[in-house]
Amino acid sequence: MATTIAVIAAIAAAAMFGISSVLMFRAANAPGEDRGAGGAWRSLLGVRRSRLWLAGAGLQATSFAVQAVALAFGPLALVQPVAATDLLFALPLLARTQARRLRRREWTAALLVAAGVGVFLGVSPPRAGTPTADPQEWSFTVLAVAAFSTTALLASRRTSRVVRTTLLAISGAACFGLVDALSKNFVGHLRHIGLGATLTSWDPYALAVAGAAGLVLSQLTFQSGALQISLPVIDTLEPTSAVLIGTVVFHEALAASAGRLSAQLAGALVAVVGIVALDRASGSSARFGPSARPAPTPPASAPSDVMTTR
């Protein structure tokens, strides 16, 4: 029963995140918006006051809350592969805004993602570890992720657009992987020591800081424009980093036997191939902002593209 709840909540979170990404990308790339780092900061500080961006951000925050419910009932290694299917929900909306039907290669890529995730979970569902992690293990993990993400962010400042987009995507994906793990630790404390004791611990504040950092990094990546580069990086690195953190700090386990583990890893590889193919297929039919060939301005009511960070 717990596994069923975890999977259903993870699917709901993926759907919300996919839709929110469409809204936030449209707001970030509205005509006249500053696409540099300053524009991202100003939008987050409320200078732009875009209702569309606020709606997307609110839905994105809700998706993390629903994902926290999933993590209360299942391990990261179970929830994150399901949550990584958010593009499957965003893709039909993207096709509709472009007034087109899904193409064969998009259907094929979507089936690869679904099949890969199905095999990964069906061969041997990941076993849950501890509900919360040891503070010492958390200290090392948080510092490692912060150092990795900050290094990628700083390195992106003096590079070409392609490299900058890739590094921003890596930085944001690592940060969101940490947010996923901190969310599990937070709900674990809520269930075992209650709200009052949890609020006096470091968990909610570390989660808030990591979440805010992830939001800033996702906005910077939205405004980089080169979605065909950033999407595959984000959609594969975030669940990978979250599952890795889960095995390190929560001591979660994948399949026990070598045969089942091989099948599980093969399923994960198929899902990754499907995600990359789906990202590139959906991106190839849309314009990518400042680096793309000029295109007619779309109607104000329709988003021009989609960007996911989950």
In this structure, is residue 234 part of a structural domain? Answer: yes
Q: Which long-range contacts (CB under 8 A, 24 or more apart) does 197-200 make?
A: none
Asked whether residue 303 is domain-assigned, the answer is no
Which amino acid, residue 84?
A: A
Whether this prediction's pTM lies above 0.75 is answered by no
Is 308 within a domain?
A: no
The pLDDT tens digits along the chain (310 residues) read: 788 898 899 999 989 988 887 777 667 655 555 545 455 455 555 435 577 778 888 888 898 889 888 988 888 888 888 887 887 787 777 777 667 777 888 788 888 888 888 888 777 677 777 888 888 888 889 999 999 999 999 998 878 877 888 888 889 889 989 998 998 999 888 888 888 888 888 888 998 999 888 878 877 886 775 556 676 777 788 888 888 888 888 888 777 778 888 888 888 888 888 877 876 665 555 443 333 333 344 444 444 444 444 5
End-to-end CA distance of the chain: 25
Domain ranges, residue 23: 2-291
The answer to whether residues 71 and 183 touch, using CB atoms and an 8 Å cutoff, is yes
Please report whether residue 310 resides in a domain: no
Quick: pLDDT tens for 63-74. 888 988 898 888
> What pLDDT sits at residue 150?
92
Long-range contacts of 201-205 (CB under 8 A, 24+ apart): 202/135
CA distance 285 to 306: 11
CA atoms within 13 A on the CB side of 5: 11
Residue 285 maps to a domain: yes
In whole angstroms, how far apart are CA 270 and each of 110, 246, 255? 11, 21, 17
Q: What is the pLDDT of residue 237?
A: 84
Cβ atoms of 180 and 71 closer than 8 Å: yes
- The predicted pLDDT at position 211 comes to 86
Q: What total of structural domains would you count in the chain?
A: 1
Gyration radius of the chain's alpha carbons: 19
CA atoms within 13 A on the CB side of 263: 14
- Closest by CA position to 213, among listed 147, 116, 305: 147
Cα 79 from Cα 9, distance rounded (Å)? 9
- pLDDT tens digits for 165-190? 888 888 988 998 999 899 899 988 88
In a domain, 41, yes or no: yes
- Indicate the burial class of 127 (C-beta count within 10 angstroms; 0-12, 13-18, 19 or more): middle
Q: Could you tell me if 147 and 135 are in contact, meaning their C-beta atoms sit under 8 angstroms apart?
A: no
- Give the pLDDT confidence score for residue 28 in this predicted structure: 62
Extract the tokens encoding 208. Answer: 């808030």
